[in-house]
Amino acid sequence: MLRVLLLTLSVVAIADAELCKPDAQNAFKVRLSIKTALGDNAYTWDANEEYLFKAVMAFAMRKYSRKSTTQISNVLLCNVTDRVSFWFVVTDSSKNGTTVPGSEVEAAIRMNWNRINSAFLLSDKTLQFLKITSTLSPPVEPSTPVWLIVFGVVLCLIVAAIVFLVVAGIQQRKKKNKESSERENLEEKGEVTVTVENGIPCEVLDLKAGHVNGVFAADDERFTSL
């Protein structure tokens, strides 16, 4: 009895080894970069984590095909390295010894990528399925480009300042014109005059309040001094 059991187990194991090996048909290589993603909070990859992986893959297959036939034992892992990377296949329980086609597995993974990532606290970059590329998310574009808004603000400030300066300049000029025209009016009224005699302004002749006649003042020289 025991011998039959052992024989069956070894047959199964050999069959598994046939199905899951590097570059086997419908096998995928998975690479995890736990230390890069989590740093000090990194967990070690052990048998429990492998069990979780099998469970998550079974979950993904069930969700995709909507048949509740995929069991954890259908997911086979092999060649686990220290990197942490390994190969896996999903066997078909209905047909013995065959694996689920790679396209189905890929579709299941794409559908549930987020759930798979979050189960391991990883992201697209740190949990890689080497044959499956993730689609790039489009960059977030705001409705109005930010630079136009900033540009509008800057331009408004500058135009306002220019208008202010020009208006201030015009007002100053009007004030100056008014002042100079007021001074002209005062001059016309005769309060500020330049008296002119024979075309010569009086100041030039240096008259002392008009009482001294400069022509006769020079006659003092005629008299000799005593």
Question: Which stretches of the chain bind another protein, using CB under 8 A?
Answer: 31, 33-36, 81-85, 136, 138-139, 146-147, 150-151, 154-155, 158-159, 161-162, 165-166, 169, 173, 191-195, 201-203, 207, 209-210
Nearer to another protein, 73 or 177 (CB): 177
Name the minimum Å distance from CB 26 to another protein: 21
R_g of the chain, CA atoms, integer Å? 51
CB-based contact 76:109 (threshold 8 Å) = no
When the beta carbons of 29 and 62 are compared against another protein, the nearer one is 29
89 phi/psi in degrees, rounded to 5: -135, 160
How many alpha carbons fall within 13 Å on the CB side of residue 87? 17
Closer to another protein by Cβ: residue 209 or 218: 209
* Neighbouring C-beta atoms of residue 112, cutoff 10 Å: 19
Do residues 126 and 42 touch, judged by C-beta distance below 8 A?
no
Minimum distance, C-beta of residue 13 to another protein, in the bound complex (Å) = 23
* Smallest separation, CB 74 to another protein (Å): 25
By C-beta, is 9 or 165 nearer to another protein?
A: 165
Minimum CB separation from another protein for residue 91, in Å? 24
Q: Six-digit token pair at 201?
A: 């302004």
For β-strands 85-90 and 28-32, DSSP reports them as antiparallel
